[in-house]
Structure 1
Amino acid sequence: MSSPEPRAPRYLVRRWGQLLLGLLLYGIAISLMIRADIGLDPWTVFAQGVARQSGWSIGIVTIVVGAIVLLLWIPLKQRPGIGTVLNVLLVGLALDLGLAFVRTPEELWARILLFAGGLALLALATGLYLGARFGPGPRDGLMTGAHARFGWAIWKVRTGVEVTVLAIGWMLGGTVGVGTVAFALLIGPMVHWTVPRLRVPAAGDPPRPARRRSARAQAAPA
């Protein structure tokens, strides 16, 4: 029989700390990539395009879009976690906060470095908030919900949705460029590395393998 879910204060503090820090860093990471001005991920291209046409801040647009996507969970019979709701509310606020303090560098090399830093921070942030196990973001839940409800392959749903929002965002004035391609190619492997390493263990999880001793330690006499 597996042990019950840990409820020690330190355990809960870690989960909540990871969730809130992850969402804060996620919004700031997006702001860095926006200021780099070399291309964005599809959903941010869409939010940027809507913001330019509506006059709203991109953070507010991100919140509104996230709320609309969350409403689409209802016919898919998906249940959001507290992390899903906080994702909708906090990422946009953190995004606007980051934009208030970061400016676009003039040099191309500096903008490339800024984008790379934002992408790395985004992968870290994703590992933090998903690893807290309080629920996925609204867009990820849309993909998994469509898969569970209709049996559609997740990659097909994701590709169809992201190509659509990317095209609409680009027509509305969102930034598409080499950064968009870099995001598409790199974010998957980066998140694949961060998520398992930052996941807070749950009851019944197998213990992590012990670190191997160094060759020197193994060679040392007992």
Structure 2
Amino acid sequence: MTRRVIQLLVGLALYGFADGLCVQAGLGLDPWTVFAQGVSVHTGIGIGWITNIIGLLVLLLWIPLRQKPGLGTVLNILLVGTFIQLTVTVVPVASGLPAQVAMLLTGVVLVAVASGLYIGAHFGPGPRDGLMTGMHARFGWPIWACRLSVESTVLIAGWFLGGTVGIGTVIFALGIGPLVHVALPLFDSRRRWGRRPAGVEGSLEGPLPQ
């Protein structure tokens, strides 16, 4: 249990750091971060704090879907946005295309590693993924349809609000699935420690396994 909790904490912190690198690369973001950035532009509140607030609001949508949060869900709301905010405060914006590309690719790879860590800890889905799986369970829609409808909506809304959509958005969409596919078995606590934790499942805040 202790090792799983540490793995969860490291994974969530690393996820926020990696997402912050993608923000500072300035080449485009995943849909939810585009939305958070757009809201941040209009409110003046830091993108990391907005990410936490959005996570909390999304969690409220679990109530009619009859979803139950886990420890990973709660810590996801508290930690991911916080580490995004710390990263964009400390790490300067990338200057020049080579530096932007390098920072973006580093961020995407680290997001995959972080996803493998916190999913592999098996402490429950993040709030946004729980929304999609809850829609699937409640309405019977395919996961891909739930994901497409939700993420396309927040992406378009974020874009209109001023969030960054670009080549980084495409790279994230195309690359994160295969990268997580590689990373997840490396950090799966059930496989590594030969135990099956009772009553807990892992999921991914962003690139949900199909």
TM, length-normalised to structure 1:
0.85
Deviations 1:52-111 (A, max 9, x none): 001101111101100011111111111110110000011111111111111122220111
Residue 142 of structure 2 is matched in structure 1 by: 153
CA contact (8 A) 2:37 2:163 kept: yes
Q: How many Å separate the matches in 1 of 2:196 and 2:29?
A: 39
2:195 is the counterpart of 1:203: yes
Offset at 1:186? 0.7
- 2:62 aligned partner: 73
CA distance in 1, matches of 2:185, 2:65: 27
Moved over 3 A (4+): 202-205
**Larger radius of gyration between Structure 1 and Structure 2:** 1
2:204 aligns with none
1:196, distance to aligned residue in structure 2 (A) = 2.2
Of 21, 31, 34, the residue aligned with 1:32 is: 21
CA distance in 1, matches of 2:183, 2:66: 29
Q: Which runs of 5+ in 2 are unaligned?
A: 198-210
SS in 1 for 2:165: coil
Identity of aligned residues (%): 56
Which of 49, 57, 78 does residue 89 from structure 1 map onto?
A: 78
Amino acid paired to 2:9:
L
- What is the SS of the residue equivalent to 1:133? coil
Distance in 1 between the 2:94 and 2:160 partners? 25
Distance in 1 (CA, whole Å) between partners of 2:196 and 2:187 is 17
1:123 aligns with: 112
Q: Distance in 1 between matches of 2:111 and 2:84?
A: 12
Structure 1 distance, partners of 2:18, 2:163, is 17
Counterpart amino acid of 1:203? Answer: R
Report the AA paired with residue 195 of structure 2.
Answer: A
Distance 1:192 1:72 in 2: 28
| Counterpart residue number, 1:182 | 171
Compute the RMSD of aligned alpha carbons: 1.2
Q: Among residues 16, 34, 37, which one is paired with 1:45 in the alignment? A: 34
Shift of the 135–204 alpha-carbon distance from structure 1 to 2, 3 Å rule, reads closer
| 1:115, distance to aligned residue in structure 2 (A) | 0.3
* Whole-angstrom CA distance in 2 between matches of 1:138 and 1:176: 23
Rounded Cα–Cα distance in structure 2 between residues aligned with 1:23 and 1:204: 21
What is the CA distance between 1:168 and its match in structure 2?
Answer: 0.5
Report the alpha carbon displacement of residue 158 of structure 1 after superposing the two structures with TM.
0.3
In the alignment, the residues of structure 1 paired with residue 94 and residue 84 of structure 2 have an alpha-carbon distance, to the nearest angstrom, of 18
